[in-house]
Amino acid sequence: MQTKQVVETSPDERFVRYRDIIGRGAAKIVYRGYDREAGKEVAWYKVHLDHIELTKRVETEIRKEFDMLTRIKSPYVLKLIAFWLDSHEYDKVDVICELFYAGSLKSFIRANGLPSDALIRRWGRQILLGIRYLHCEAAETPIIHRDLKCDNVFIHGHTGRVKIGDLGSATISAIDGPMMSIVGTPNFMAPEVFDAMSRAVLAPRELGNRARRIAETTVFGVELLARIKWQTDRQQLGRWMRTQA
């Protein structure tokens, strides 16, 4: 059996990275890696920071946020094991997470076809428990994912359990821009948030934690319906809904 080629080692030499790319995103590349201490494969994220001015204050904030994420312990949230600022490429953060071999919920559905209603309910319950943990239990202030969709929910192929992932990229997004800003199509905004904004009761930057938690839960509910039940995405569903108005 041919040994995999190691292309990078973590500063403490605990983790090694292989060339295999197992995922991509707008601001990240995900490689297959190996945890020498635990004796298992991991997901090694390279999260890009080239859109952020990396001042000392921002660097401190990044370390603080990621340190908080490493303390998250929930059966419904992907475990973030370690992180460090890349000493060779200053515009990147290296993040180590547990690896789910079946990949994202989006790719799993694409490969295996439309799931049953019972399975959708089971997935939905696990995801909602993960959202509740992040919003209410993980830290003193709610952790808002900001990019919760089927691409960022991962499934264990042997057990069928799903977990919320990609919190590292969400953290970078939150540091880069105002956490309370509202973007996207009003069709997918929580009714309470849209109503408050339309009556100018709340400006987007003044939306409280409760409104942001409602918004995130509502958006993911629409994502589940669009992606799983109707085999489409939020943008296509939004265009269809506008034609029916």
Q: Which of 166, 176, 195, 233 is catalytic?
A: 166
55 φ, ψ to 5°? -80, 170
Task: Note if 166 is an active site residue.
Answer: yes
Count of alpha carbons within 13 angstroms of residue 216, beta-carbon side: 25
Please calculate the CA angle 129-121-179 and round it to the nearest 5 degrees: 40
* Domains parsed from the chain with CATH numbers: 6-177 (1.10.510.10)
Beta strands in 133-183 (DSSP E): 153-155, 162-164
Q: Which two tokens stand for residue 77?
A: 């949230």
State how beta strands 153-155 and 40-48 pair: unpaired
Tens-digit pLDDT profile for residues 192-222: 444 544 444 444 444 455 555 556 666 666 6
Q: Which two tokens stand for residue 198?
A: 């339309």
Q: Which pLDDT does position 187 carry in this prediction?
A: 42
Tens-digit pLDDT profile for residues 96-143: 999 998 888 888 888 888 888 888 889 888 988 998 888 888 777 777
CA distance 32 to 73: 22
Tens-digit pLDDT profile for residues 99-109: 998 888 888 88
In terms of residues, how long is the chain? 245
